[in-house]
Amino acid sequence: DAGITQSPRHKVTETGTPVTLRCHQTENHRYMYWYRQDPGHGLRLIHYSYGVKDTDKGEVSDGYSVSRSKTEDFLLTLESATSSQTSVYFCAIQADPGRWSNNEQFFGPGTRLTVL
């Protein structure tokens, strides 16, 4: 597996509480992504980062914020968790999307978040 870890791996929280998920990589890849995985929707992009302090919104960014202060860490924060944010969250990394040839995304193990 590419050097990607996610923490925590499982979390149960209550509606209205803040939650932060961490993605850590040891590959020194420039691009990092946060997806959520839901039945019938596949993977949907929440936010992504194309470098330290450079982030942008994805398809389903409402209710989420991100930060990237170091190349190796990409944090996803739910400011006030809601039950609709119950999901499995995957982090992914990619070397350089500009080099489309032979490029792929490598995924972390996922974080299962339950919001009660």
Partner 1 sequence: AQRVTQPEKLLSVFKGAPVELKCNYSYSGSPELFWYVQYSRQRLQLLLRHISRESIKGFTADLNKGETSFHLKKPFAQEEDSAMYYCALRPRHRGQNFVFGPGTRLSVLP
Contacts with partner 1, residue ranges (CB under 8 A): 1, 33, 35, 40-45, 48, 50, 58, 90, 92, 97-98, 100-105, 107-110
Closest separation in Å from C-beta 94 to partner 1: 8
Closest separation in Å from C-beta 102 to partner 1: 7
Cβ distance to partner 1 smaller for residue 87 or 105:
105
User: How buried is 108 (Cβ within 10 angstroms: 0-12 exposed, 13-18 middle, 19+ buried)?
Assistant: buried
Strand partners of residue 87: 113
Cβ distance to partner 1 smaller for residue 1 or 62:
1
CA distance 6 to 36: 13
Cβ distance to partner 1 smaller for residue 16 or 97:
97
Closest CA to 113 of 40, 27, 7, 28: 7
Closest separation in Å from C-beta 41 to partner 1: 6
Closest CA to 28 of 86, 71, 60: 71
Cβ distance to partner 1 smaller for residue 14 or 35:
35
| Sequence-separated (6 or more) residues with CB below 8 Å from residue 100 | none
Closest separation in Å from C-beta 87 to partner 1: 14
